[in-house]
């Protein structure tokens, strides 16, 4: 066991003040003494509900996709520090932004401390029956496991705290940093405790269930078996120094199978058109067969939640935000399953035709049909079609510039550098603005992820036939042809399939790290410039002689220390015995 130590002074502050989220519209530390909370089953449950806020979500203004090879955040906010691998323990750029607190060291430990307080005090509460008591216990264990799994995939092995410390304990405030293996084992034990107490069906939507806990187990064990944590780790804090990797892959496969064997989830497949089906999968504001656990939003209380405004095209008076990059666009296969290739004349001539249906449901590109323009710009585009062309030339020699570009007459500063915009998660029936917002949930876990987890583990175990069988279920749902490969070829096809199916869902940032492919993919972000001739700038059918130029839009670089984020400088200062992650 590692003997490194870390300060948890921030846990002490929280245990003294112990405030929850804005449940009941009161502040616990100001208006309700904490000791009084545990005497009331209602207040205890509200305290628990407030802890779900610590899980965060992926639909903030800054999305994790812009810290990986999926998108470019056009407003900066320190994201360049991450994609250029320039962050340090004292300067973390966007990683310190409040929108990403669910991945940050101190906020996660605050949430853990709150859970620990609940588990210590809950026996004071008297519930209407044992079922409610066990459900709250189960949710608490699930939440603590979830918080630790975020710490694990960001930092590796971390300190394990199961109780609330008092400020007069002195040196007792220093907790040893556990090894990576011990951290994984602790998470799994908390999950097992959660499963033993949780219901199969949630009493209210958004709360943890047996399925959610088992989905978390599947993800955690998949990570534990991955390259990053098994391929000669620097020390036991960042991976396994011994043990059977095959057994880890078996555990990952079996954990995914546990979710499958519940027989209560399935792939969302309600529409014949795969583009519509994949779009609606994320727009349904109710739980459905693929949703294992979701975050729902209150449009008044969740003021910052507005993905349509944050990411929509500037020509619709939206903010651009997290814009897909060419690096991702090129990885969408052709509809017949072939890889897209700019050197293929057919592909080069019509790069947006006959692509994987999920491309059309994920990315807004030049010529894509969208919604009607706002009133003051509808005269520039009466048809509601995305205009990201750099320039079109009309028969009289005059030119037009796309109104969804950075040369537009409409909010040019919000135009995309890549010339793409996000389509996924955004409801086309909403006029996205400060005053009009959509209600689209964030899926923490969905069934397709579990199937992909099962496929990955099966491939690593050489079980190619069953892996193909399950993977092809996802591809058929997407309207894509079956895969027939085995071995390394199947592994690479799977990895691209996971990239496409789970795009913008907070997986890619971690996948490129756990697969150790980040040096190959964290290259400069690319975009596209489009030129054409046109007889009528309102009629796309008259456009001809297209010319496409690929260009770099953001410098990116990789340093191997970036496989793990650094423990913040403040924590190192509090405890000189704390071992930092490699390279910092």
Q: In this predicted model, what pLDDT tens digit does every residue of 334-355 receive, in sequence order? A: 999 999 999 999 999 999 999 9
Is 74 in contact with 414 (CB distance < 8 Å)?
yes
pLDDT of residue 32: 79
232 CB-near residues (< 8 Å, 6+ apart)? none
Helix (H/G/I), strand (E/B), else coil: 460: helix
Spell out the domains of the chain, with CATH numbers in brackets.
5-58+98-265+560-574 (1.25.40.390), 307-440+524-554 (no CATH)
- Asked whether residue 24 carries a pLDDT value surpassing 70, the answer given is no
Residues 316, 355: Cα–Cα separation, whole Å: 25
pLDDT of residue 34: 82
- Asked whether residue 171 carries a pLDDT value surpassing 70, the answer given is no
Residue whose tokens read 């904490």: 34
- Residue 364 has phi, psi (to 5 degrees) of -95, 120
Composition of the chain by helix, strand, coil, percent to 5 = 45, 10, 45
- Asked whether residue 244 carries a pLDDT value surpassing 90, the answer given is yes
- Asked whether residue 30 carries a pLDDT value surpassing 80, the answer given is no
C-alpha torsion angle, residues 89, 60, 194, 3 (rounded to 10): 0
Residues 287, 314: Cα–Cα separation, whole Å: 32
- Residue 549 has phi, psi (to 5 degrees) of -125, 120
Encode 154-186: b = buried (16+ Cβ within 10 Å), e = exposed. bbbbbbbbeebbeeeeeeebbbbbbbbbbbbeb
pLDDT band (50, 70, 90) for residue 412: very high
- Asked whether residue 20 carries a pLDDT value surpassing 60, the answer given is no
pLDDT of residue 166: 62
pLDDT of residue 541: 95
Classify burial at 141, counting beta carbons within 10 Å of its beta carbon; exposed 0-12, middle 13-18, buried 19 or more: buried
2 CB-near residues (< 8 Å, 6+ apart)? 157, 176, 177, 178, 179, 235, 236, 237, 579
pLDDT of residue 103: 98
Q: Which residue has the higher pLDDT, 299 or 470?
A: 470
Is 484 in contact with 468 (CB distance < 8 Å)?
yes
How is residue 571 annotated by DSSP? H
Q: What is the pTM of this model?
A: 0.93
Nearest to 324 by CA among 74, 30, 582: 74
* Neighbour tally for 429: CB within 10 Å: 7
Helix (H/G/I), strand (E/B), else coil: 135: helix
User: How confident is the model over 156-163, as a mean pLDDT?
Assistant: 94
Q: CA–CA distance from 493 to each of 472, 475, 497 (Å)? A: 11, 11, 6
Give start and end residues of each alpha helix (H) in 180-339. 180-197, 210-225, 245-260, 274-283, 307-311, 326-329
Q: What is the pLDDT of residues 98-110, one digit of tens each?
A: 999 999 999 999 9
Is 259 in contact with 214 (CB distance < 8 Å)?
yes
pLDDT of residue 468: 98
Q: What is the pLDDT of residues 432-443, one digit of tens each?
A: 998 899 999 999
Phi-psi region at 239: left, alpha or beta (left = phi > 0; alpha = psi -120 to 50)? left
Cross-strand pairs, 364: 421
pLDDT of residue 168: 55
Q: pLDDT above 90 covers what percent of the chain?
A: 85
How is residue 167 annotated by DSSP? G
- Asked whether residue 467 carries a pLDDT value surpassing 70, the answer given is yes
Q: What is the pLDDT of residues 528-552, one digit of tens each?
A: 999 999 999 999 999 999 999 999 9
Q: What is the pLDDT of residues 186-238, one digit of tens each?
A: 999 999 999 999 999 988 899 999 999 999 999 999 999 999 999 988 889 99
Is 248 in contact with 230 (CB distance < 8 Å)?
yes
Name the helix (H) or strand (E) containing 551: strand 543-554
- Asked whether residue 133 carries a pLDDT value surpassing 80, the answer given is yes
């Amino acid at each position: 066991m590692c003997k490194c130590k870390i300060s948890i002074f921030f846990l002490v502050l929280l245990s003294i003040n112990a405030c929850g989220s804005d449940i009941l519209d009161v502040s616990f530390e100001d208006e309700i003494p904490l000791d009084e909370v545990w005497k009331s089953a209602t207040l205890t449950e509200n305290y628990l509900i407030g802890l779900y806020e610590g899980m965060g979500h992926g639909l903030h203004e800054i999305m994790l996709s812009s810290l990986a090879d999926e998108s470019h955040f056009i407003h900066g906010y320190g994201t360049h520090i991450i994609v250029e691998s320039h962050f340090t323990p004292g300067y973390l750029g966007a990683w310190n932004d409040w929108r990403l607190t669910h991945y940050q060291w101190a906020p996660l430990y605050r949430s853990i401390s709150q859970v620990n307080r609940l588990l210590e005090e809950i026996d004071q509460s008297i519930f209407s029956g044992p079922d409610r008591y066990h459900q709250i216990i189960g949710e608490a264990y699930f939440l603590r496991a979830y918080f630790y799994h975020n710490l694990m995939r960001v930092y590796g092995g971390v300190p394990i705290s199961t109780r609330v410390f008092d400020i007069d304990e002195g040196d007792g405030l220093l907790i040893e940093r556990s090894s990576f293996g011990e951290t994984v084992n602790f998470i799994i034990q908390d999950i097992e405790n959660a499963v033993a107490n949780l219901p199969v069906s949630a009493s209210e939507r958004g709360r943890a269930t047996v399925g959610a806990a088992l989905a978390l187990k599947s993800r955690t064990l998949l990570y534990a078996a991955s390259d990053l944590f098994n391929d000669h780790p620097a020390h036991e804090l960042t991976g396994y120094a011994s043990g059977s990797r095959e057994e880890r892959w078996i555990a990952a496969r079996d954990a995914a199978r546990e979710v499958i064997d519940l027989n209560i989830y399935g792939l969302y497949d309600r529409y014949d058109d795969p583009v519509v089906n994949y779009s609606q999968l994320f727009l349904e504001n109710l739980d459905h067969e693929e949703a294992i656990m979701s975050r729902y939003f209150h449009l008044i209380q969740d003021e910052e939640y507005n993905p349509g405004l944050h990411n929509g095209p500037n020509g619709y008076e939206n903010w651009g935000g997290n814009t897909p990059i060419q690096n991702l666009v090129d990885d969408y296969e052709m509809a017949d399953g072939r890889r897209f290739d700019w050197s293929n004349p057919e592909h080069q001539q019509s790069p947006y035709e006959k692509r994987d249906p999920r491309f059309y449901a994920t990315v807004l590109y030049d010529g894509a049909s969208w919604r009607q323009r706002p009133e003051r710009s509808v005269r520039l585009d009466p048809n509601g079609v995305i205009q990201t062309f750099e320039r079109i030339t009309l028969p009289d020699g005059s030119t037009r510039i796309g109104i969804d570009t950075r040369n537009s007459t409409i909010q040019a500063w919000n135009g995309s550098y890549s010339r793409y915009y996000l389509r996924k998660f955004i409801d086309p029936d909403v006029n996205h603005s400060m005053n009009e917002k959509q209600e689209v949930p964030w899926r923490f876990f969905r069934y397709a992820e579990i199937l992909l987890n099962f496929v990955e583990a099966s491939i690593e175990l050489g079980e190619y036939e069953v892996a193909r069988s399950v993977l092809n279920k996802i591809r058929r749902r997407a309207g894509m042809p079956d895969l027939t490969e085995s071995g390394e070829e199947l592994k690479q096809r799977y990895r691209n399939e996971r990239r496409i199916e789970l795009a913008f869902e907070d997986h890619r940032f971690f996948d490129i790290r756990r697969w150790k492919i980040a040096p190959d993919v964290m290259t400069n972000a690319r975009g596209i410039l489009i030129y054409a001739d046109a007889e009528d700038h309102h009629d796309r059918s008259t456009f001809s002689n297209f010319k496409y130029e690929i260009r770099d839009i953001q410098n990116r670089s990789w340093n191997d220390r970036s496989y793990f984020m650094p423990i913040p400088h403040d924590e190192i200062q509090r405890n000189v015995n704390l071992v930092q992650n490699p390279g910092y």
